[in-house]
Amino acid sequence: MGRVSKGERCSVSGCSQPAVKSVSLEKASRAGLSVSGSRRAYLCEQHYKELKKRLKKEKRIEKWRWR
């Protein structure tokens, strides 16, 4: 049982929704989200969707590098 299933709240400042995913703090800050925490960033559904949109281009470029 992880922290998300125990009822962890979103780590983005100003948001108090329940978290649905956890990502590394580095990945969340690279996407431009203002998160607080030590190692993991816990994100609600809305902020996780935003993170995926912002990192989509980076993922595509990394994929092209390895082809």
**Angstrom distance (rounded) from CA 45 to CA 21:** 8
**Angstrom distance (rounded) from CA 47 to CA 16:** 11
Upper half-sphere CA count for residue 35 (Cβ side, 13 Å): 27
Q: What is the pLDDT of residue 33?
A: 92
The pTM assigned to this predicted structure is 0.83
**Angstrom distance (rounded) from CA 44 to CA 40:** 13
Q: What is the pLDDT of residues 5-54, one digit of tens each?
A: 999 999 999 999 999 999 999 999 999 999 987 899 999 999 999 999 99
Q: Is the pLDDT of residue 1 over 80?
A: no
Which residue carries 């980076």 as its tokens? 58
Distance, first Cα to last Cα, the chain: 38
